Amino acid sequence: MTVLDVSDTLLADAISPELVLVSQPEVAQLARAQLPTFPTHPVSAPRRAERGTSPRRIEFIAAYVVCLLVTLGPLGFIIFSQPIHPGP
C-alpha cells in the first residue's frame, strides 16, 4: 500500500496505534500528521478537595474492621469446624 492508495476516507477516522506501527512509513507519517496537537505547556494540578470531603477516621477504622472480618471470619470457621479428637 502506498500513500496514493490511501484514500481520505480511510484516514478520516481514528486509526489504531498498532495499525500505524505496521503500516508503510509514508502511510504512518500521514496518519501521525492527522493527530491532534497537545498543549506544550505544563498542565496545572487539580485543586485539593475542600475540607470535610475526605473520609473520616471512623470510616477508615470501619473499613479495616470489615476487611479483617471478611478475611479472618472464614479462617475461624475452618479452624473451629475441625472435630476435636481426644488424646489416647
Question: CA 88: distance to chain centroid?
Answer: 58
Tell me, what's the pLDDT at 54?
66
Taking the C-alpha atoms of residue 88 and residue 68, their distance in angstroms, rounded to an integer, is: 37
Percent of the chain surpassing pLDDT 90: 16
Q: Which amino acid is at 68?
A: L
pLDDT, tens digit (0-9, with 9 covering 90-100), for 4-33: 555 555 556 667 778 778 888 887 888 777
Grid cell locating 9: 476516507
Mean pLDDT to the nearest integer, 44-61: 78
Quick check: pTM over 0.85? Answer: no
Residue 2, pLDDT above cutoff 60: no
Could you tell me the CA-to-CA distances from 74 to 21, 63, 67, 70 in Å, in that order? 50, 18, 12, 7
Which amino acid would we find at residue 10? Answer: L
